[in-house]
Amino acid sequence: MMSEEQVEKLLSHLSAQWMLALENRSAPTPFVQQALADVFELYIATQDIPVGSIKDKIEEGIKASATLAESCLEYIGSYVSDEIWKCYATWEQEDWKSWQTLCRIRSQLEIMKMLYQSYISAEKYEQTELTLLDQTIDENCGSGYLPGEYIPTGIPATHFWWWLPEKPS
């Protein structure tokens, strides 16, 4: 479980990554990638915390960074497209890495949508190539199960793409 200080530090880092992506428009990918990783870490580390001061801090931090995050949706789409093509190039050579990469990105986007739902409309996420990502996962990952050791602890069962071809019970 994260302390309030750790949450504040992560939220500050998240805002900084969105800002750096916007400031580095010619090469925003590393900052977008890190911002999505921060979103993922924030959710996984705090999902079981009851409502209270830390949850309030998270909501304040998300609200404060929402405009920056929304401005980066197009860059997220470019990042997602690039990762999909990288995975196509390596799908045959690597056991589970491509599937794991795409599932992690898909979960990061789902968590981002959830955290920012009060500030960024669902239609705006079309820029993130979410439909293409879902199609790619469905077409390429549904032939077996991703071994449990490749699925991060704390992934909600609603993130069914980790367990294709069947949702967990």
The verdict on whether omega for the bond into residue 50 sits within 30 degrees of 0, i.e. cis, is no
Domain residue extents for the chain: 4-163
Q: Angle, to 10 degrees, between the axis of helix 4-23 and the axis of helix 29-46?
A: 160
Task: State how far the alpha carbon of 118 is from the alpha carbons of 112, 128, 139, in Å.
Answer: 11, 18, 32
Higher pLDDT, 121 or 169: 121
* Confidence (pLDDT) at 36: 98
pLDDT mean across residues, the chain:
89
Maximum CA extent, the chain: 47
Higher pLDDT, 145 or 75: 75
* Confidence (pLDDT) at 164: 76
User: 86-90, 93-97, 119-123, 140-144: which has the highest mean pLDDT?
Assistant: 119-123
Instruction: Give 16-71 pLDDT, tens digit per residue.
Output: 999 999 999 999 999 999 999 999 999 998 888 887 878 899 999 999 999 999 99
* Confidence (pLDDT) at 148: 81
Q: Could you give the dihedral angle defined by the CA atoms of residues 112, 30, 80 and 139, in that order, rounded to the nearest 10 degrees?
A: -100
* Confidence (pLDDT) at 94: 59
- Contact between 57 and 11 under an 8 Å Cβ cutoff? The reply is yes
* Confidence (pLDDT) at 20: 98
pTM here is: 0.91
